[in-house]
Structure 1
């Protein structure tokens, strides 16, 4: 077993022992999925996006997850308030710039969050993270564009990690995660994950749970992303032939089963 596999196997145990409270200001399309994914992995979710309490909830949480999937002016203010409070108290912040590159509102919000909030982890697809890196992108709504698929994910992840002083996690057919020094590639997952809404949002929430338990952005990112990848594989084995609805539920079931032994057995991780 290599070093990073050992680290993420221990991470599952630590998360379930500590039960971190994870504050999510997230996408209302997938908020229920994110809450259930967090419960399944052993964390405690709280979804509070009103400006009157966003900072207060962050102050009592183990981690904060900001997701701009269904963006509006009201939640931008809440994200900034929650992020600043998390920074003040040393609480890790995970940022998912959903659809960055697709509209002026998303682009401006992404830039403003990154300007005002020190993030621990940036988790997105190749188009979203390429936008943060300052590259021209052809984002396809909230999904990665095939035109951006040729971008060098390793180089972009390292560049963004160094630029922002964070861990950058680029998810795709092969996931690439870097803190600017180490580079981890993850080969888990199943194509059916892309046919169910919310799997990216759930992945960011899972990264938040591990970040709250570990306070280590790189290990948290690898653990969160590989947890969803393994869950997708197990879900396909259990229910993939039935259809996407059954597969969706099976993903949550698989996250509930995930432990150190399963992580050790199924994680497909390479460290460059």
Structure 2
């Protein structure tokens, strides 16, 4: 997509999150700074209805409970029916049996369009859940020093970013929110995830220039996201297609 940020800011897509309680405030703020509209409706009584009026659904299993999984399944089913993208941030997969089982339950019950995780989380899912229904058509996003995005046919390596992004809690969760925002306006989910991480990484690079440490970096990160433009980021993109 040529100008995804402009499209987000013009259309203001609603991005529904059922997400990590530790980082929910950061996810809402970064979504808003990019120009999308965040909503966080976890209650099973309303979550599917909220998804029904949204343009993307972001699921994050960072602070997992059985009740949250029920809401995630209800919302994902509504998203599948509406044909809007579902992003799963597989936080902590591989750490506990419950987390592994719940991730497998999500992947086996509904269509997930984009799975995001670090290298160990993606490796765990790929090793144990490769045969789970729907995974073969899912875009995978592996975040780290360099981010890898693949849909099985195309693979991109994104090299934008700064080490200070790893010094504050929540940048990984924020990345999932940004991916959801970009996927809400671009049906090519592999391309959308690639762009999302380029734009976020570019903002991190710009924020680091005027930051003395994690505190000032976090403030500057929001400001740089708010002041991004497609032209600015496209001049900074560091992407390799394998």
5+ residue gaps in structure 1?
A: 1-6, 136-155
Residue 92 (1) aligns with residue 116 (2)? no
Show CA shifts across 1:186-205 (max 9, x none): 11111111110000000000
Superposition deviation, residue 73 in structure 1: 1.2
Equivalent position of 2:5 in the other structure: 12
- SS of residue matched to 1:224: helix
Normalised by the length of structure 1, the TM-score is 0.85
Residue pairs, 1:165-184, within 5 angstroms: 165-184=137-156
Q: Secondary structure at the match of 1:45?
A: strand
Alignment of 1:133-212 (within 5 A): 133-134=126-127, 163-212=135-184
CA separation in 1, counterparts of 2:33 and 2:219? 11
Asked if structure 2 preserves the Cα contact closer than 8 Å seen for 1:14 and 1:214, the reply is no
- 1:164 Cα deviation from its structure 2 partner: 2.9
Runs of 4+ deviating beyond 3 Å:
none
How many residue pairs end up in the alignment? 240
> SS of the counterpart of 2:148?
strand
Mind listing any 5+ residue stretches in structure 2 that lack a counterpart? Answer: none
Determine the C-alpha separation between the residues in 2 that align with 1:80 and 1:163: 16
For 2:79 and 2:136, locate their aligned partners in 1 and report how far apart those are by CA, in whole Å: 17
**Structure 2 match to 1:231:** 203
Distance 1:225 1:78 in 2: 27
Contact 2:116 2:140 (C-alpha < 8 Å) held by counterparts: yes
User: Do residues 81 (structure 1) and 74 (structure 2) align?
Assistant: yes
Query: Is this contact kept in 1: 2:149–2:194, CA < 8 A?
Result: yes
Q: State the shift of 1:235 in Å.
A: 1.1
Does residue 261 of structure 1 match 2:234? no
Pick one of 191, 216, 219 that aligns with 1:249.
Answer: 219
Q: Is the 8 A contact 1:19 1:213 kept in 2?
A: no
TM-score with structure 2 setting the length: 0.95
Distance between the aligned counterparts of 2:214 and 2:4, measured in 1?
29
